[in-house]
Structure 1
């Protein structure tokens, strides 16, 4: 089929496309020469519209066919394609490096911007809330026919349809499991083992169609015995049984990647500016939600850095943040292990960043119980570092054409990245002048697939037969994650007869390929189990680690092995030994956790968190056993390490000791306040009683105790009925709260000068530094002013001079995500316009000038979102056009 015949074939497979929906604009794409990639690699166009439209996610099968989930009906354009969105299959049949065939695999009215497609031989898994749908292409003709093929809803109960923060793609793991994740819309679903999981959180916004209200289930444990918050990652058997939640507390991890060593990496979205790429500590919380499912904003500490506050890095119960890179819109990820790019790229984690027109690269290095992640750039179309069209720069749009008449490369919005069976890297481009804001602005719904490969690359997709051991081994060697999953699955079915071939694979010179065989050993008969057990004594800690994980995932008893690994010199091995104690009775878990605790260096966050996760639901008993074995002595003589262990384990059995430390004049102020903080994280009325005693009996640490008592008494401890006591101690008396009316001035009908007036002027940075202090009533500038408005450090560099000028002249033109205001109407007729930072009782709201007030809920009549910015514009601040030019000039280097 020729390139020119593609649209005709597409229309034939999808009559609705020809009859009911035609893009109103000609398709566009960013030219390959606009991209920067590593030396020796080149970018080529593999496919583009009309082969595909608005690609949200993709997968690549063993034959090199690319399967794409489309989002033509995205958000406000729901119904633009009446027959529903599609899963489309693209092929390069003549091997010239470009797709020449495109057709619909399935189209349904119920497919509305699905965010995931995973292909496992002839099984196609589509993520379409509320359902995780499995299509089996029985006759393997690459077209779903309900009369022949099978369609099954594997799991259901995921919020929300037509929402970015919902159910994402399924990926095959090296252990034969399927991995998927869901954003912070949350879920309540039941697996095929009849276990119900409740992933709750306070987030309810962003439009879309919602199916369950998980906020009604706050503090309810799932059937696995643990409490989880949304968003989350999970793994399961391909038949939907034995689901395990393996990470939670996300905002919106669009996708994750599990490598052949069994390590999970992901990116996560932010409330600007704290997007991150990180290693996911198994069972750990990323920190966006508190244990009680409330937003991080409700527990932000005074003066705390936004990044640390956003992911609650100073609180117990969160894993290491990884790399925070600022504002953005992170999307698809993949882990490159082997293929056409060469050995220097082996072990590279690639992460799409649509808001910054870039794909980041990392080569994670083991660092204690976590990974060091140094950011690099793999693919980039943004050459000046000035961003546009994203929430973190106040929105706006990229221009359609550059000054040279070319398509603006800042419309490159990578939605996914994948490794092909040929070893090349493929990238889908959503292509849009805007990203985020729950909208798309490219009416042509253009989409492109780029290939990144060595110059002159000729694609070869190895042929193999999964019904033979030799063929399954070939599949297991594949660079494409879901292709090698099919090899694992086929070899597992072969059982013991596959052991010789798998044993040979263990000696492969490529460590990424060799390690894949270890996961199979527990399924290959008694000799395979014996061989895997022997690898626990290997001198290579990563082989030991995978052998341990392989036995555990296969359901083998690993307690004895964990007890041995607790003594290992490797922090990573000891970490996994601690995590393996999770769910065991305290008398079994404690000895291993104690041994692991003996080796803690006092600073490794993931290591400490692994101990806490291993002790979950058994913390008081485990802590008591630790105290008896580690013999820290009198509470006033604890060393810092034991104090930090106590802080993380939040044991009710430590309340008396912590109270004694808080009241001891012999300890430093920091030690006493840390004891108070530790008390505040214990979820028990006795901890609140102790805190009340500290507030009323001690003056030196009374301010810290009062602050924590108010925060918990109106938050996590509110269910203990503390309002009366808070009132009696004078900490919070709703009747005595005096509320000041603060109304933002209305937006002027016009401004005295325009963007172009300012851009014509030459700014003076020295004058601008002084003039900018007028903005300190809302922005923190050089440590002066409140953290009320967006952070201005690096602001102009992020969004560009023109956008910065526009935002100062008219802040309401495009309000930065996370800074939308609320107008609160009080029952006495007064109003407060501001930013709600804690939505409990009281509602805590910060207004212009950084003035923060507590508003009892019973005084609120109504509230509504504001249609204008909380920031004053240039006229209202008394700024001239020259003043704005000066401020922007200074901000360029701030």
Structure 2
């Protein structure tokens, strides 16, 4: 249910709605469609009507599956969906006879305060439920499967009924709770309403001081000692800690950018969703910007951003677990298993060491083949080692909407023919509790951990057996408890720090920090460790130590950096945070003249020490252009005033592109502009006039005397980055007067261009007011006014603004069709539904208004009759199988490209989506005449235009101006030539035009 690109979601929903009558969505059919890893079997554990729409699951020590339902998920955005008045439910599903199928269900809790809860974690008699704005703890004190107590653990979390809010809790092997929250959560409050302050004294608020966007956190089981582990995620849906204390999670990209990822959460790391310093979005232009959007999305070229373990392309990453059982094959043991509903798959990530970090490869565990409704959203292990998978089961995923409220499935993956038998657990003795500690089920492991903690010294002998075992994961589990033993804990920590296994040494250092022992002494033992991963954690452990000894340790670790391992470099940066001058100077002194190599340059690039600033300039002087960009970008992360002088010197001593970049990276608000610098600035502006660089410098130096130059760029380059950024700068300066001068000047082409330049900024109230003024001015050209209406399409703020105008009957009648086009092509269903209430939809030839597109897509037509409609009305512009006129796009395979929804949109509201290459142009010629049509050919001296079946050739020398039209070449009232049934038949015919489907032609 999380974050598939909106157009894919809408297409999926509508396509499924159209075909649901023909498809079989029974449990038998969906189960048969699943492909499971060789040697395993997938069976249906439970399904509707026991429950529906599962968002998250937890399996308790009895093997029962607890489910968060989301029947009431975002119903405000889809008025057609019914509402469960009593609120959503927390369900308990039980298999009483061990056959692997639930035969009993009960409601643990129901209420509107858990509507669309995104997380559930059962630990003993406590049930943690995450539902923004609250994180609840329900306590069942008498074991009757009903809560005796409901408490708020945390509150104030934003993102109510939003996927990007508070997510689930899980129990770590170190005895702490781990949880995360997406970028809409904003902040964390205590139950009494105070802002949570973490153990490092930082307010848990994502406003950039110091945290940004989504966060990964941990705390004690009672909610105390909160610590932010990492930040600047987008929608990190769930995390898990392995036995060594390494934390893993998935994160979701902005829809449509193919940048979803798997993270190793390096403690205190910044993960780059937004600019660390400014908070700017990833798409904002910056120096040394990554070439490919999936990497640009995470600011991976910026110093101070932790790398990704794996980028998994498009998708909707959801629940994740770490499998500690033995029932599944070796490929899954000790590995991350992840639910990915966007790809209809549950898969494992086989993790390998990669320098100081990790890399991973993908192995599919369970995948939907033809049934695209398989939407696995969570995965967790049962007490017997089998795996339980929650299937949201829906035609779409993400975007706050849902297409099916009544279905939902839970599958069990196990060895073939294996019944569901729950192992006996004995927590009354230390040996029994140690055995239970190794169970793959989180609840059993939690109860065992608490029992062993309470046994104190009595548990030592049983834990020692585990500590001396061969399996390093089991040894690490023992260590976290042995480290707590009175008078003995230090001994085991020292043994761990000297262990032959690097993962045990890492766990030993982490346990030393958790127990607040002598961290510097522990780091001193590991600074020359052969494992880069151990040294990585040693660097992280130095964070916050403002001593000469710590600085020397850091310098020693930095001298071992190989100049290639980004994980190691970022660990050094995290460790030095807050003490950069001290640590950097210790390294520089130890490196001496040898600092200027690949490794040393990287450390300078990553450093935030004031003493790194002149070294950056030295590196720029000696670098090629690619390196130069990297080093210039590093200046943006320095706040010391000395960088202004260093950049000024660079700007005035060179005559190449370094001058431009030196100017771009100055902070003009803190700069003393000397005559020499001003002359340099003016020279660069003259050289770049009309370019994006010109706009950036004018904006940065706040040169408001260049406002008219920016306006010219808007008009002459409206669709380029320079035009859009120029408009943005003028909006920031509130130069609405300049916009009005153009819009009221009578130049239609200039007005159209300016509107296009302003279009990307329709979230801005100033822009909306400008567009409203154009709409309401009946003296203006109707094409200009219609274009102004269309700019309200896209940003929610703009759509809501236009809808309010429609509700108040303030949209002029001659613009109703354009406004209806905005509403009917909106992604949010409430905009489509409400828009149809207030404005008359296009009419058929019978004169009556057509129903909304959402209603039309549910209708079934006669493709053979639609073919006749096409020949009569559409073949004068379009071809199918070479029959017809080659003017508009060829429609021979249009059914493979567009859903029914998109086809109706193209016919009823053609201006809303003009196909690339089929834009109309108007050419003004020297003799005062004009030429109009689609450009089909252009050479150095001629332009060939086509309109319908007429072609015209124009000499370029005769062209005075060229203007791209904002209206489609397709007639805007084509539906008036058809009955409603004709239209439905036509779309049925077009939908059947697919590759190889000759019968439809």
- For normalisation by structure 2, the TM-score amounts to 0.66
Which of the residues 244, 254, 262 maps onto 2:237? 254
Matches within 5 A, 1:591-602: 591-602=552-563
Q: CA deviation at 1:61?
A: 0.8
Aligned partners of 1:415 and 1:429 also within 8 Å: yes
Which of the residues 576, 595, 607 maps onto 1:649? 607
Q: State whether structure 2 residue 129 is matched by structure 1 residue 126.
A: yes
Q: Over aligned residues, Cα RMSD in angstroms?
A: 4.1
Q: CA deviation at 1:670?
A: 4.3
Aligned partners of 2:173 and 2:480 also within 8 Å: yes
Which residue number in structure 1 is paired with residue 324 of structure 2? Answer: 337
Q: State whether structure 2 residue 405 is matched by structure 1 residue 443.
A: yes
Q: 1:99 and 1:300, CA in 2 relative to 1: closer, same or farther beyond 3 A?
A: farther
Which residue number in structure 2 is paired with residue 196 of structure 1? Answer: 196
1:544-587 Cα deviation digits (max 9, x unpaired): 22222222222222211112211000000000000001111153
The size of the alignment, in residue pairs, is 718
Tell me the distance in 1 between the aligned counterparts of 2:110 and 2:421: 30
Which residue number in structure 2 is paired with residue 88 of structure 1? Answer: 91
Aligned partners of 2:30 and 2:374 also within 8 Å: no
Q: CA deviation at 1:176?
A: 0.2
Q: CA deviation at 1:429?
A: 0.7
Aligned partners of 1:805 and 1:885 also within 8 Å: no
Q: 1:671 and 1:163, CA in 2 relative to 1: closer, same or farther beyond 3 A?
A: closer
Q: CA deviation at 1:883?
A: 14
Which residue number in structure 2 is paired with residue 373 of structure 1? Answer: 360
Q: 1:55 and 1:753, CA in 2 relative to 1: closer, same or farther beyond 3 A?
A: farther
Which residue number in structure 2 is paired with residue 527 of structure 1? Answer: 488
Aligned partners of 1:477 and 1:513 also within 8 Å: yes
Q: 1:50 and 1:753, CA in 2 relative to 1: closer, same or farther beyond 3 A?
A: same
SS in structure 2 at match of 1:46: strand
Tell me the distance in 2 between the aligned counterparts of 1:697 and 1:336: 60
Q: 1:693 and 1:213, CA in 2 relative to 1: closer, same or farther beyond 3 A?
A: same
Tell me the distance in 1 between the aligned counterparts of 2:878 and 2:366: 31
Q: CA deviation at 1:466?
A: 2.7
Q: CA deviation at 1:512?
A: 3.1
1:16-67 Cα deviation digits (max 9, x unpaired): xxxxxxxxx9985452121111111111100001211211101111110111
Which residue number in structure 1 is paired with residue 8 of structure 2? Answer: none
Tell me the distance in 1 between the aligned counterparts of 2:507 and 2:566: 22
Q: State whether structure 2 residue 249 is matched by structure 1 residue 266.
A: yes
SS in structure 2 at match of 1:196: coil
Aligned partners of 2:325 and 2:385 also within 8 Å: yes
Q: Which of the pair is proportionally richer in helix?
A: 2
Which residue number in structure 2 is paired with residue 391 of structure 1? Answer: none
Between 424-433 and 668-677, report the one with greater CA deviation.
668-677
Which residue number in structure 1 is paired with residue 167 of structure 2? Answer: 168
Tell me the distance in 2 between the aligned counterparts of 1:44 and 1:263: 32
Q: State whether structure 2 residue 286 is matched by structure 1 residue 324.
A: no
SS in structure 2 at match of 1:426: strand
Q: 1:722 and 1:186, CA in 2 relative to 1: closer, same or farther beyond 3 A?
A: farther
Which residue number in structure 2 is paired with residue 780 of structure 1? Answer: none
Which of the residues 483, 486, 501 maps onto 2:462? 501
Which residue number in structure 2 is paired with residue 679 of structure 1? Answer: 635
Q: State whether structure 2 residue 92 is matched by structure 1 residue 59.
A: no
Which residue number in structure 2 is paired with residue 100 of structure 1? Answer: 103
Q: CA deviation at 1:527?
A: 2.5
Tell me the distance in 1 between the aligned counterparts of 2:655 and 2:26: 68
Q: State whether structure 2 residue 314 is matched by structure 1 residue 311.
A: no
Runs (5+) with no aligned partner, structure 2 = 1-22, 686-696, 716-752, 757-786, 791-817, 822-841, 845-865, 914-964, 972-986, 997-1001
Q: 1:887 and 1:456, CA in 2 relative to 1: closer, same or farther beyond 3 A?
A: closer
Which residue number in structure 1 is paired with residue 182 of structure 2? Answer: 183
Which residue number in structure 2 is paired with residue 233 of structure 1? Answer: 216
Aligned partners of 1:676 and 1:704 also within 8 Å: no
Which of the residues 287, 294, 305 maps onto 2:272? 287
Q: 1:213 and 1:135, CA in 2 relative to 1: closer, same or farther beyond 3 A?
A: closer
Which residue number in structure 1 is paired with residue 31 of structure 2? Answer: 32
SS in structure 2 at match of 1:188: coil
Q: CA deviation at 1:264?
A: 1.4
Runs (5+) with no aligned partner, structure 1 = 1-24, 200-211, 221-226, 384-408, 775-795, 817-869, 890-894
Which residue number in structure 2 is paired with residue 786 of structure 1? Answer: none
Q: CA deviation at 1:486?
A: 2.1
Aligned partners of 1:158 and 1:188 also within 8 Å: yes
Between 93-102 and 163-172, report the one with greater CA deviation.
93-102
Q: State whether structure 2 residue 435 is matched by structure 1 residue 474.
A: yes
Q: CA deviation at 1:873?
A: 8.1
Aligned partners of 1:275 and 1:324 also within 8 Å: yes
Which residue number in structure 2 is paired with residue 5 of structure 1? Answer: none
Q: 1:26 and 1:551, CA in 2 relative to 1: closer, same or farther beyond 3 A?
A: same
Structure with larger Rg = 2
Q: 1:627 and 1:84, CA in 2 relative to 1: closer, same or farther beyond 3 A?
A: same
Q: CA deviation at 1:804?
A: 8.2
1:355-399 Cα deviation digits (max 9, x unpaired): 11111211101121111111221111035xxxxxxxxxxxxxxxx
Tell me the distance in 2 between the aligned counterparts of 1:718 and 1:44: 65
Q: CA deviation at 1:701?
A: 3.5
Which residue number in structure 1 is paired with residue 767 of structure 2? Answer: none
Which residue number in structure 2 is paired with residue 791 of structure 1? Answer: none
Q: 1:760 and 1:527, CA in 2 relative to 1: closer, same or farther beyond 3 A?
A: farther
Aligned partners of 2:92 and 2:107 also within 8 Å: yes
Which residue number in structure 2 is paired with residue 276 of structure 1? Answer: 261
Q: 1:433 and 1:596, CA in 2 relative to 1: closer, same or farther beyond 3 A?
A: same
Q: 1:412 and 1:658, CA in 2 relative to 1: closer, same or farther beyond 3 A?
A: same
Tell me the distance in 2 between the aligned counterparts of 1:815 and 1:423: 53
SS in structure 2 at match of 1:503: helix
Q: State whether structure 2 residue 416 is matched by structure 1 residue 430.
A: no
Which residue number in structure 1 is paired with residue 335 of structure 2? Answer: 348
Q: CA deviation at 1:231?
A: 0.2
